[in-house]
Amino acid sequence: MTGQDLRQARQQKLWTQEFAAKRPGMSQAYLSLLERNHRVVPGKLASRLLKALELSPTALPLPPEKLASTTNPARFPECLGALGYPGFSYLKGRSNRNPADFLFDALMQADLDTRVAEALPWLAFKYTDMDWNWLVKNAKLNDLQNRLGFVVTLACQVAERLVLKDKVAVLANCEALLERSRLAREDHFCHESLSEAEKRWLRERRPAEAQRWNLLTDLSSEQLTYDD
């Protein structure tokens, strides 16, 4: 969350600094320092500003590097509901997670609930404004580029089906970046507990996208029914 994010959101609402500062409970002088990037937005204040200025959760701060998941997998449905995923809309609450950070955490998992795994391409489809440079860098650091590439490919196919050209352009660019570092070794899509029989079956019948990204999964974009 940068000072430019705050200033643009405030100005789009035609709010003065004084009026905008009152909503999250801060002084006008402190908001001015934040907007000019003279202060870094603290984590707790970022969530309040997100709600007050109705910013996208993609504006929430990201750590420079991640080497491990920081989310309890039991909370994944709740996090997806807060981010607006229709499949978990009954758990909808206020989001305090950057979608890029959450997507990284999910891709790190050895095993995911099938409903959560199916939601991951939606994150890429919905939040094309996320920090892709951060996500690609951290995916490479953790050898997750094939899993991320698969997610982006499915999201891009959904966007193409809906003729959403702006989304297609962003996702296709990210897909191309990941293609350059595609790993040759076989991996699974967050389902490490596959039996040998299941692995053999998937090698023979997996979709072309899964084969391209060297993943053992039967998930395809035809199974995804998102809308814009």
| Residue from 186, 95, 182, 192 nearest 139 by CA | 182
73-86 residue pLDDT tens = 889 999 999 899 99
Query: Where in the chain are all domains bearing CATH 1.10.260.40?
Result: 3-55
Q: Rounded to the nearest 5°, which phi and psi values hold at 215?
A: -115, 145
Look up residue 203 and give its two tokens. Answer: 């090698």
More reliable by pLDDT, 116 or 94: 116
Burial of 21-43, coded b for 16+ CB within 10 Å and e otherwise, reads: beebebeeeebbebbeeeeebee
Rounded to whole angstroms, the Cα distance separating 37 from 182 reads: 37
Say which residues have a Cβ less than 8 Å from residue 32's Cβ, sequence separation at least 6. Answer: 17
183-221 residue pLDDT tens = 999 999 989 998 999 999 999 999 999 999 999 999 999
Tell the burial category of 113 from Cβ atoms under 10 Å away from its Cβ (0-12, 13-18, 19+).
middle
Helix (H, G, I), strand (E, B) or coil at 201: helix
Rounded to whole angstroms, the Cα distance separating 8 from 6 reads: 6
Instruction: Judge: domain 3-55, CATH 1.10.260.40.
Output: yes
| Residue from 108, 112, 79 nearest 96 by CA | 79
Scanning the structure block, which residue is given the tokens 């891009």? Answer: 156
pLDDT band for position 35 (cuts 50, 70, 90): confident
140-193 residue pLDDT tens = 999 999 999 999 999 999 999 999 999 999 999 999 999 999 999 999 998 999
Tell the burial category of 14 from Cβ atoms under 10 Å away from its Cβ (0-12, 13-18, 19+).
exposed
Rounded to whole angstroms, the Cα distance separating 82 from 69 reads: 18
Strand partners, 216: 188
